[in-house]
Structure 1
Amino acid sequence: MTDEGDVDSRGAPVIRTRRLTKEFPRVRALDDLDLTVGSGVTGLVGANGAGKSTMIKILLGLLPPTSGEAEVLGHDVRTEGAAIRARVGYMPEHDCLPGDVNASEFVVHMGRMSGLPHAVARERAADVLRHVGLAEERYREMGGYSTGMKQRAKLAQALVHDPDLVLLDEPTNGLDPTSREDMLDLVRRIGTDFGIAVLVTSHLLGELERVSDHVIVLDAGRLLRSSATSEFTETTGTLLVEVLGSATERDLLGNALAGRGLRCHPVAGAVEVLPPPDGLHEGSDVRDLVRDTVIDLDLGLVRIQEGRHRIQDVFAPPEEAMQP
């Protein structure tokens, strides 16, 4: 379902679809998709094959839908593709840069393709290359760029014509941890400092929690959920307890807590302690009981913290409860 109230609070929608469907000979990539995207940074998440890239191509007017409607910045994707592409920046997922051209020439060319006069395109290219961190490397041929530099060049060309909306398809694809952090910071700045609406796709759910104001979850071409990011990550009422050691120590603690009347589940390297039934062990009593149990077992306590939902919980099956 869509959360119209949250989108309305972020201004007029920049993207709206109604029963959007795309069928290929052997698969339905999008299935009766109704969604609304507002300003700020919106994350589009789903496993590979969920329909993310197909939707972006339809929004750009590059791929006709089988049925349904879609509008981008008030333009119909079926009949006004050129008008959409004039106002939208697009960063594709795959490497598509000419290796024998330097970044400055490439970004200027893309600015000219978007309708900018030559002098304006050169000025804008210099600005965006500086913003993405390629000012000193702008005259190097892109064939010699690292993966992170190529991603920055692709981002620069998406921004050169000062768009109202940018579509970023897996912008951290192939990046090492440091480059990924830098790219996420750039994505966030586009939505906050530059005031450009952003739709960013990723299959790495934690990334979208960090940079997005709103998250849309697709599953096999269907809308699974559309909510403010804060609603995905709100507190659960549970406690996460982590101790030193391996899964053996984790399970030892969980089973001991279950033996003392607490409901527990293993969660990655921690034990999730659910709220006690009927008010038993309320509030700080639960924390005290956990602490005392850790001490009794002679385990090293790493953390006790309030549990929060994660985007990936939308997809995850429930863990089996620990047994006393």
Structure 2
Amino acid sequence: MPIIAAQGLTMRFPGVTALDDLTVAVEPGVTGLVGANGAGKSTLIKILLGLLPPTSGAAQVLGLDIARDGARIRERVGFMPEYEALPPDVSATEFVVHMARMSGLPPTAARERAADTLRHVGLYEERYRPIGGYSTGMRQRVKLAQALVHDPQLVFLDEPTNGLDPAGRDDMLGLIRRIGAEFGISVLVTSHLLGELERVCDHVVIIDGGRLLRSQAVEAYTAASGSLVVEVEEGRDRLGQRLHDQGVAVRPEGRLLVVDIADEETYDRIRDGVADLGLRLVRLEQRRHHIEEVFAVGSEQPHPVPQGAPR
């Protein structure tokens, strides 16, 4: 049974259509929601939380109707907003306990859950410091903790890696993987960095101008291509020239050679070339597609991704 199901969702503001007859179903697991700024991602999340009534259409979250059961949906769903909304003069413990109490947990259970959740997100040692003295990465972890503290069945994470350096992004992505794999909580995560979604998501939903562009398993996006990636320590150009002279389609790409697979003999030619030239082979693997390629394909469709979409 889908955890999210939308049927013909439309949301119109004066002069703007944020969602346009959107129909999509999301199964349990970690799902990425992709779209350019203004594509309707934040509007969709507000509607699914029962905070914003759509102009038309219907949707269900965890089997509950958004029009009638908004409060019950918010009891079972956690939300990590993109925007900064943390009080600077209270500690992470005080804030997360307060959010647990707001979700209906009694005082003792709220304190226990807050301590456990802050430990899970890596803030246990810093939990009594005022949030105002936290780094961007620590504040993002506080927002994640408050979304998880009431043990929801589903969490909405809106751009959780915003403002983080590469190490911070890796840490946050690791936490998202744990939420889905270890805690058994389904996740709907938005990001404009599509490579991040390839790393953590089971499924990706792409919307464009409020309409569904694609909904598909990540494995389908990232299927193996018809090319090989070859990396040698030195002698890239010599190997490339040899393969070219043998009629193999090859092109340099940074330190790599990208070789089109014509037949099984392509592998033999690469192996023999490396051996005959006395090169050290670092990597030989089949290239995989990336989610970004969907936007290049989508730009040729009747509803192109608008300028500024992530590529």
How far off its partner does 1:116 sit?
A: 1.2
Asked if residue 223 in structure 1 is aligned to residue 212 in structure 2, the reply is yes
Aligned to 1:275: 261
1:204 shift after superposition:
0.9
C-alpha distance in structure 1 between counterparts of 2:14 and 2:249, whole Å: 48
**Aligned residue identity for 2:86:** L
CA-CA distance at 1:27 after TM superposition: 2.5
Map 1:203-242 → 2, pairs under 5 A:
203-242=192-231
Structure 2 residue identity aligned to 1:93: E
Q: How does 1:159-178 map to 2 (within 5 A)?
A: 159-178=148-167
**How far apart are residue 273 of structure 1 and its match?**
3.0
TM-score norm. by structure 1 comes to: 0.82
Query: How many residue pairs were aligned?
Result: 297
1:316 alignment partner, SS class: helix
Alignment-mate amino acid for residue 134 of structure 1: L
Task: Work out the CA distance in 2 between the residues paired with 1:20 and 1:244.
Answer: 54
Structure 2 equivalent of residue 136 of structure 1: 125
Paired letter, 2:289: H
**Shift in CA distance, 35/269, structure 1 to aligned 2, threshold 3 Å:** farther
Match among 147, 165, 180 for residue 158 of structure 1: 147
* 2:43 aligned residue (44, 50, 54): 54
Matches within 5 A, 1:37-116: 37-116=26-105
Cα 1:259–1:217 shift into 2, 3 Å = farther
Within 2, Cα distance between the matches of 1:297 and 1:35? 54
Cross-structure match for 1:309: 289
CA distance in 1 between partners of 2:171 and 2:87 (Å):
23
**Whole-Å separation in 2 of the counterparts to 1:185 and 1:46:** 22
Looking at structure 2, the residues matched to 115 and 22 of structure 1 have their Cα atoms a distance apart, in angstroms, of 31
Q: Aligned partners of 2:112 and 2:86: how far apart in 1?
A: 21
- Counterparts of 1:31 and 1:267, CA distance in 2: 40
Q: In structure 2, do the counterparts of structure 1 residues 25 and 300 end up closer, same or farther at CA, with 3 Å as the change threshold?
A: farther
Alignment partner of 1:185 is 2:174: yes
- Which residue identity is paired with 1:113? M
CA–CA distance in structure 2, aligned partners of residues 215 and 166 of structure 1: 16
CA distance in 2, matches of 1:146, 1:309: 35
Task: Quote the residue 1:8 is aligned against.
Answer: none
Query: Helix, strand or coil for the counterpart of 2:197?
Result: helix
Measured against aligned partners, the alpha-carbon deviations of 1:92-113 in whole angstroms (never above 9, x if no partner) come to: 0111101011111101111111
Q: Distance in 1 between matches of 2:74 and 2:10?
A: 21
SS of residue matched to 1:139:
coil
Partner in structure 2 of residue 194 of structure 1: 183
Stretch of structure 1 that moved more, 293-302 or 199-208: 293-302
Structure 1 gap segments, 5+ residues each: 1-11, 277-281, 319-324
Give the gaps of 5 or more residues in structure 2: 299-311
Q: 1:260 to 1:138 in 2, by over 3 A?
A: same
Letter in 2 for 1:57: K
1:221 is displaced (CA, Å) by: 1.9
Deviates more, 1:30-39 or 1:258-267: 258-267
Taking the aligned partners of 1:128 and 1:213, their CA distance within structure 2 comes to 24
**Superposition deviation, residue 47 in structure 1:** 2.5
**Mean CA deviation greater in 47-56 or 181-190:** 47-56
Q: CA deviation at 1:302?
A: 5.5
The Cα of 1:304 is off from its aligned counterpart by 3.2
Q: Distance in 2 between matches of 1:51 and 1:115?
A: 31
Secondary structure, counterpart of 2:78 in structure 1: strand
Normalization by structure 2: what TM-score?
A: 0.85
Question: Partner letter of residue 154 of structure 1?
Answer: K
2:12 aligned residue (2, 23, 26): 23
Superposed displacement of residue 229, structure 1: 1.6
Q: Which amino acid aligns with 2:194?
A: L
| Distance (whole Å) between structure 2 residues aligned to residue 180 and residue 51 of structure 1 | 24
**Against the structure 1 CA distance between its residues 65 and 244, is the aligned structure 2 distance closer, same or farther, given a 3 Å change threshold?**
farther
* Distance of 1:265 and 1:317 partners within structure 2: 22
